[in-house]
Structure 1
Amino acid sequence: MENECKIVGDLLPLYLENMLSEETMEFVKQHLKSCKQCSDEFEQMKVGVKNHTIEENEGKKDVQALMTVKKKLRKKTMKTISITGACLIAVAILLHTFPIYRLAMLSAYSDFYTNAQVMKALSIGSSSDRKEAQDVLQMAHKAFQDVHHTRAQNEKDYGLLSRYATSIDDYPEENLDFSEYSLQLWSAHFDGDKGSLWVYYSSETLNQKGDVVCGSWEVPSFWEVKKNENGKWVVTNIYEHP
């Protein structure tokens, strides 16, 4: 009997999992009916397996709950990022279209520019108006780059924009070489044959030694323009703080 109990004890785990042949299953079953010691051992084994299963299921539930929380947090985070990104884009577009921060830049010249002029700096203007301004800007670029002609020639070539060219008769002994500059269109507004531009520029002229001869830096400038008899835009007035 003792030897049989040892055999049954080894078979109990497989018996519990129903992994024995029919004959062996029947053998273990009959033995458990007649042997209290093996029967008690089998009952304890079943309780242990049950507890292990419960713990395993609880663990799975905990993991599942944690994954659910993480998923919700991930969705919430992505939603927050999306909303924040959309807000930043909206603010960027708003500031690009209506750059109200320029008020601070122009506040230093509040006694020089009119309110109407300042208000035009706070809106970049329509795409068609900005496109219309390109002819005037191209002429301004040529003037900024010109360091090789007299004042009279510059006035003939560029009109009022000649103030941005460097005349050789102003610096006869400097051997002017080239000009470094930046020219930014702030806004453009046109109505019929009249219009206005806000520009922002910096410029310096260098001689052949590489020395800066003259320059202007970070200057806001308001230009009034009008179409001439040939249908071309020309600058008729320049308002610029001295």
Structure 2
Amino acid sequence: MLKYLVAGMFGLSIAFSSQAALVEVFSEDFESSLDDWTTVGNQPILTSDAFEGAQSVNTDRGFIYNDFALQAGDVISVWTKFSGEGRSYLGFGATDAGTNSFVLSSNTQDYRFQDNPDFGFTELNITTFSVLFDTWYRLEVVLGTSEVVGKVYDTDGTTLLGSLTQDVGSLGALDGGISLRTFGDSANVLDLLQVFRDDSIAVSSPAGISVFAAFCIALVFRRKS
């Protein structure tokens, strides 16, 4: 139940910080097959070490990506945990030509942006960060028209531990879907991937509050079904 409440608190913090209700438009909890994902490299592994539900994913050094149509203003969120040295990638603008990624690294103790043409690795902005093992972190990417912001949150999902900005001109094409990657220890995992989008209803209005309240309730209690 605590994890469901954390997810609801996360939705609350996003909506009030932006002064508009962000609604969930995509979710992947890795509780079923990965048939909707394209694999580049090694086959992903579904594991039992989950943030919520029964399963998470380890991509075994390969990328997986989908064709969900991201757009400017979207907020992408995923949970990750390291049991050893490695990296977790939250990617955006993914196509068969490559992707862009916000990367949390326990092996080099930092987070960074990468351009990944042909799913290779071009390093961009980077900053140091102390990554703890066996601790859940929430990674977030906010897509803008001129810059992209990557953020790292603590286990409660709302305490910001650090952020990094990357100008769009340094990245590859942003038109595309979501990508994920892990490498390192086999227990390094990703879970509960979500995309939130501004529905342009101000939460300060009664109508906006009602819609947002319904959103939070649905976000929390749908995980119980």
Q: TM-score, normalised by structure 1?
A: 0.23
> If you compute each CA radius of gyration, which structure gives the higher value, 1 or 2?
1
Structure (1 or 2) with the greater strand fraction: 2
Richer in helix (by share) = 1
TM (normalized to structure 2)?
A: 0.24
